[in-house]
């Protein structure tokens, strides 16, 4: 089996080139061809010696994931379903905004955390993606969008690890992928514009702060342990106090001076004034009176098996106002790509089911651009 060069960060590719008896700077050239130019054919890489290209052709390849479906929403959001084999698929979503382009990337097929309000969690865990499979989502999205828009300019300015899976439970594949995102010879994204979202894997938050301190979002969803134990089962292992301690430690290394807390608004479950009051107390007890976190309230995207409902808009506003009045910066997430089921927690991936679902959606409401299987 030959090696997929998408699996390497620059250090790994350099070691690989050295094994082939090549100079280190060749790795940088190759890396730039792959990630900056989107090349997958060694013959395109005209500034590499023919002998090196031949060597690479016989031992390596640059292969993204097969695209099962690609859908474009009326608001410009694009969702891809990628086949990762054995009946599994993962999704990535591109969200264009006036001043940025954000790609939401998956880290696992399924997820072992099993949050009650998350359809990925309800599927269970299939497997970790490897570094190449995480990066393939960005590589494909960036370069296919450039082609579509007829530009050589960078399209994706922000990456959020908020697709399927718990990124900090796939740490060893995640970190090299993040390094490629940040590398000036790769995607050159700033640490502030790459966000890892976690349900709270405390020891790995500490490791991330040392290995690759990108922006951090923490999925809190509840202001007390009994409720969080129920919604996010990982809380039984790392309860709220330990999680918030880890957030404070992370802040010393973080590229921004705040942590973002995500809070999914569930009707009658975690959206009462009492819950807002408890959150305010949690926040005030830390940070020495300084503002150290923000809240992002996410209206729940319902799916039948959850047995949960979305909080009313009035309740979300009331909750947001309570937090804001207490001096906590609070935003309510806009839902984007609703017509293509591209919203948080709707990313689910049995390839057979999803292919059928995607085909159904395509017929009903979306513009299928192409379907490659």
Whether the CB-CB separation of 83 and 126 falls below 8 Å is answered with no
| Residue 20, both tokens | 């082939």
Whether the CB-CB separation of 254 and 209 falls below 8 Å is answered with yes
Residues contacting residue 363 through CB under 8 Å, at least 6 positions apart: none
Whether the CB-CB separation of 69 and 367 falls below 8 Å is answered with no
Check residue 337 for interaction with ligand SAH (CB under 6 A): no
91 catalytic? Reply is: yes
Chosen from ligand SF4, ligand SAH, none, partner binding at 300 (C-beta under 5 to 8 Å by type): ligand SAH
Q: Which of 16, 31, 94, 300 binds ligand SAH (CB under 6 A)?
A: 300
**What does the alpha-carbon distance between residue 97 and residue 333 come to, in Å, rounded to a whole number?**
13
Q: Minimum distance between the CB of residue 76 and ligand SF4, rounded to whole angstroms?
A: 25
Residues 186 to 205 in contact with ligand SAH, rule: CB under 6 A: 197-199
Q: Which is nearer to ligand SF4, 48 or 84 (CB)?
A: 84
Instruction: List residues bridging with 294 in a β-sheet.
Output: 260, 329
Q: Residue 138: which H helix or E strand, with range? A: helix 131-149
Spot the catalytic one: 247, 264, 293, 344.
344
Q: Which of 186, 223, 337, 345 binds ligand SAH (CB under 6 A)?
A: 345
Whether the CB-CB separation of 296 and 262 falls below 8 Å is answered with yes
- Structure letter (DSSP) for residue 4: E
Q: Which is nearer to ligand SF4, 165 or 299 (CB)?
A: 165
Q: Minimum distance between the CB of residue 165 and ligand SF4, rounded to whole angstroms?
A: 6
The CA-CA-CA angle for residues 332, 242, 317, to 5°, reads 15
Q: Minimum distance between the CB of residue 199 and ligand SF4, rounded to whole angstroms?
A: 4
Positions that interact with ligand SAH (CB under 6 A) = 117-118, 162, 166, 197-199, 219, 262, 264, 298, 300-301, 344-345
Q: Give the catalytic positions in this structure.
A: 91, 344
Binding residues for [4Fe-4S] cluster, as ranges, are 111, 115, 118
């Amino acid at each position: 089996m030959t090696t997929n060069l998408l699996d390497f960060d620059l250090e790994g590719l350099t070691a690989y080139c050295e094994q082939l008896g090549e100079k280190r700077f060749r790795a940088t050239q190759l890396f730039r061809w792959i990630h900056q130019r989107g090349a997958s054919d060694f013959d395109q890489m005209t500034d590499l010696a023919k002998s090196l290209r031949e060597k690479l052709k016989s031992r390596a390849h640059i292969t993204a994931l097969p695209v099962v479906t690609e859908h474009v929403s009326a608001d410009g959001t694009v969702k891809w379903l990628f086949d990762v084999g054995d009946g599994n698929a993962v999704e990535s979503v591109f969200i264009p905004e006036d001043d940025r382009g954000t790609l939401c990337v998956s880290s696992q097929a399924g997820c072992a955390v099993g949050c009650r309000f998350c359809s990925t969690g309800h599927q269970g865990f299939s497997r970790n993606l490897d570094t190449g499979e995480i990066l393939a989502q960005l590589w494909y999205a960036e370069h296919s969008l450039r082609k579509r828009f007829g530009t050589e300019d960078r399209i994706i300015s922000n990456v959020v690890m908020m697709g399927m899976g718990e990124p900090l439970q796939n740490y060893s594949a995640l970190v090299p992928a993040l390094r490629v995102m940040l590398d000036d010879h790769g995607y050159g994204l700033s640490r502030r514009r790459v966000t890892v979202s976690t349900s709270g894997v405390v020891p790995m938050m500490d490791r991330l702060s040392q290995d690759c301190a990108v922006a951090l979002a923490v999925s809190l969803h509840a202001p007390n342990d009994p409720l969080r134990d129920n919604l996010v089962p990982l809380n039984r292992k790392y309860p709220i106090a330990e999680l918030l301690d880890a957030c404070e430690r992370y802040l010393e290394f973080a590229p921004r001076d705040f942590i973002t807390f995500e809070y999914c608004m569930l009707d009658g479950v975690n959206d009462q004034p009492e819950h807002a009051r408890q959150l305010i107390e949690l926040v005030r007890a830390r940070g020495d009176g300084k503002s150290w976190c923000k809240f992002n309230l996410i209206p729940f995207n319902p799916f039948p098996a959850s047995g949960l409902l979305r909080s009313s808009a009035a309740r979300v506003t009331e909750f947001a106002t309570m937090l804001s009045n207490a001096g906590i910066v609070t935003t309510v997430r806009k839902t984007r790509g609703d017509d293509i089921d591209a919203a948080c927690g709707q990313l689910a991936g049995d390839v057979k089911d999803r292919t059928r679902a995607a085909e159904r959606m395509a017929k009903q409401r979306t513009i299928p651009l192409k379907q490659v299987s």
